[in-house]
Structure 1
Amino acid sequence: MEKYQNILVVIDPTTHEQKALKRAIELAVHTKAVITAFVSIFDFSYEMTTMLSSEEREVMRKSVISDREIWLDDVISGIETHDLTIKTKVIWHNRPFEAIVEHVLNDKYDIVIKGTHQHDKLKSVIFTPTDWHLLRKCPSPVLLVKDHQWPKNGNILAAINVGSDESEHQSLNHKITEEAVNLSKIIQANVHLVNSFPGTPVNITIEIPEFNSSQYNDSMLQHHKEAMTEHAAKFEIPVENTRVEEGLPEDVIDRVSQRLDAELVILGTVGRTGLSAALIGNTAEHVIDRLNCDVLALKPEGYISPLAS
C-alpha cells in the first residue's frame, strides 16, 4: 500500500502563510492522502481568571476554538487543494507537542508535517521547543519544513551509519534508506547516501606518539566505503551517489547537503540514549539547525513514545 495515506499538518496560528500545509498537499497529490490540519491553542488568561465560573470558562474556550476554526477554513480556502480531503481539528491544550503526539498515537498518522519559524532579522530558522519535543517523542516520521523548494529531479540525502554491524544500526540504516527510495519515487528525486566517521581521537596521538593517524584514518575510510557500497547495492543506489567523509555528523551532513543542494535530508533521531545508530539529542539538533532544507526525522523500529500510556 502507498505510504503517507494519513497526514497530520501542524498549522502555525501566527501566520497566514502555511508552508507545512502546502508541502503536505504537494505530497498528498501523489499519494491521495487525507490531510488533517491541526491547531492546538491555549490562552492562559482564560484559565487563570477567577472572575469566571467553570461553565463561563468553557463557553469562552469554545468561542476561541470556534473563531480559530473559521480562520483555519479561511486559510484552507485560499490554497490550491487539488480536490484533496483536508479535515480540520482545533483543540485546547497548553502543551502543543503533547496534543500532537496524543493525536498521532490515537489516529495512527503516517507522518507529521510542521513548518519551522523564520527569524526575519537574523535570516535564519528558529526552532521552537515544540519542534525538538516532536523530534524526540513523536513515534511517526516528522517532516520539518523550511523554505526550500522541492523541484522535480532534485536530491534527497539520507544520513546513515554503516560502520557498525549491530542489528539496531542496520535496521535504522535500512529504514532511513527505504524511506528515501520510497519518497524519491513519489516526488521524482534522486537518492544520495551520506556517512560520517570520526577521525583519530586526539588523546591517542598525544599518548601514543608512534600511532599512525593517517593510516588509521585511511583504514577507517576504506572500512566505511566498503560497508556503504554494500548497503547502497541492496537498494540499487549507484556508488557515485554515496559519500563517506571524516568529521562530525553535523559538519559532514551539512556540507554534503549544500554541495547537492538537497531539498530533503532524512535521518534517524531518538529520544533516549543507548542507541548510537541514531543521532541522539544534541547531535540531531545541531544537524537539523544547520540545514537549509527540509528534514525528515525517523525513529528506530520498536520505538515507543514516552507519552504512550
Structure 2
Amino acid sequence: MATYQNLLVVIDPESESQPALARACLLARKTRAKVTAFMCIYDFSYEMTTMLSHEERDAMRQAVLTDRAEWLQNICKTYDSPEEVETCVVWDNSVYSAAIKHAIQIKADLIIKAANSHDDLASLIFTPTDWHLLRKSPTSVLMVKQHDWPENGNVIAAVNVGTEDNQHQALNDKVTNTAKLITELLGARLHLVNAYPGTPLNLAIEIPEFDPQGYTSNVKHHHEKEMQAFAGRHGVHAEVTHVKQGLPEVAIPTVAADIDAELVVIGTIGRVGLSAALIGNTAEHVIDALNCDVLAIKPDGFQSPIKS
C-alpha cells in the first residue's frame, strides 16, 4: 500500500504544546508527507454583539483569525518538519465538521489529533470531538497520547480473526497492512492481537448440562487456529500473536501495556445515530483504556456524512 502523503493535524488552540503536530512531523520526516496544521476557533460572544453592524462583527472575527494564524505559524516553526508546515485557521463552532471538510478539500490521507480524556457520563450526553472524528471521518484518524514512539518499539494490529463477515475480514487485512507499513516506517515490531468472548453466563445458568469449560476451550482453539492462519497469510511470526479471552477494550490495552506498545491500529466501522450514542464503538472504548496512540482505520468505501 502507498505511504502517507498528506497529513492534516487538528491543533489545540488552548495549548503551546502540540503532541499531534510533533507526531505528524515525525511521520513527515520518514515519508516526505505534506503537513497542514488546522485550527478551528469560535467565540459566541462575537455573534451576539448586536450593537455592532454586520461589517463590524466580521472585522472583529477577522482580527481574531489573523491573530491566531500568526500564533499558529509561530508554533509550527518550533517543530521539525522536512518542509514548511502549511497552516489554516477557520471560524466554525464545530471542530470535527470543519476538520473533516478541510481534510476532504486537501485530500488528506490521515487526520491527526491529540486525544481528549472524558468520563463515560459526559461522553453519553456530549459526544466529544474525538468520537465524532472516529465515526465520521472518511479517512484514517490517528489519536495521539503522551506515549513516545521509540525506535525498535512495538505496534499492535487489533484484529477479529473469528469473524465470518466479509467487511470485517477485509478490514482485518487493511488494519494489518497499515500496521505493517507503520512498523516499517518506525523500525518497530508488529504484533497481532485478537480478543474472543468468554462463556455466556446465561447459558451456564439456564442449561444444566452445558459444559462451560469445554465451550471456552473450543472457542479459544477456534480463534487460535484462525489467528495462526491469518498471521501466516500476512507473514507474521507466531511468537508475536496474542489471542486473549475478554472484551477488546480490556484485552487489547492489557497486551499493549504488557509489551509497552507505542501504537495500536484498529478498525472502526463508524456507527452513527442512537446506537453509537448509547453504545459507542469498540475503537472508542479501546482508546479510553490505552496509554499509547491509536490509529483508527475505516473500511474501503466508507461514506462520511460530512461533505466538503
Match in the other structure for 1:209:
208
Paired with 1:235 and 1:30, the residues of 2 have a C-alpha distance of 23
Paired with 2:2 and 2:242, the residues of 1 have a C-alpha distance of 29
Q: In 2 relative to 1, CA 261–227 (structure 1 residues): closer, same or farther, beyond 3 Å?
A: same
Paired with 1:42 and 1:133, the residues of 2 have a C-alpha distance of 18
Paired with 1:144 and 1:166, the residues of 2 have a C-alpha distance of 27
Q: Secondary structure at the residue paired with 2:35? A: strand
List structure 1 runs of 4+ shifted beyond 4 angstroms. Answer: none
- Contact 1:136/1:281 (CA < 8 Å) preserved in 2? no
Match in the other structure for 2:76:
76
Cα displacement (A) at 1:128: 7.6
- Contact 1:269/1:297 (CA < 8 Å) preserved in 2? yes
**Unpaired segments ≥5 residues, structure 1:** 120-126, 274-279
Q: Secondary structure at the residue paired with 2:268? A: strand
Cα displacement (A) at 1:19: 0.7
Paired with 1:272 and 1:146, the residues of 2 have a C-alpha distance of 23
Q: Secondary structure at the residue paired with 2:267? A: strand
Match in the other structure for 1:172:
171
Q: In 2 relative to 1, CA 128–293 (structure 1 residues): closer, same or farther, beyond 3 Å?
A: farther
Report the AA paired with residue 153 of structure 1: N
- Contact 1:3/1:110 (CA < 8 Å) preserved in 2? no
Cα displacement (A) at 1:2: 4.0
Deviations 1:60-87, CA, capped at 9 Å, x for gaps: 1111110001101111122233x32310
- Contact 2:248/2:286 (CA < 8 Å) preserved in 1? yes
Match in the other structure for 1:301:
300
Report the AA paired with residue 292 of structure 1: N
Match in the other structure for 2:11:
11
Paired with 1:259 and 1:161, the residues of 2 have a C-alpha distance of 20
Match in the other structure for 1:224:
223
Match in the other structure for 1:251:
250
Match in the other structure for 1:124:
none
TM-score (norm 1): 0.92
Deviations 1:166-224, CA, capped at 9 Å, x for gaps: 21111010010000001111111111010001111001011111111111111111111
Paired with 2:114 and 2:194, the residues of 1 have a C-alpha distance of 27
Q: Secondary structure at the residue paired with 1:176? A: helix
Match in the other structure for 1:198:
197
Deviations 1:220-267, CA, capped at 9 Å, x for gaps: 111111111111111111011101111111110011100110000111
Match in the other structure for 1:49:
49
Match in the other structure for 2:286:
287
What value does the CA root-mean-square deviation take over the aligned residues?
1.8
State percent identity of aligned pairs: 51
Match in the other structure for 1:107:
106
Paired with 1:91 and 1:4, the residues of 2 have a C-alpha distance of 25
- Contact 1:270/1:281 (CA < 8 Å) preserved in 2? no
Paired with 2:293 and 2:99, the residues of 1 have a C-alpha distance of 19
- Contact 1:271/1:281 (CA < 8 Å) preserved in 2? no
Paired with 2:190 and 2:145, the residues of 1 have a C-alpha distance of 20
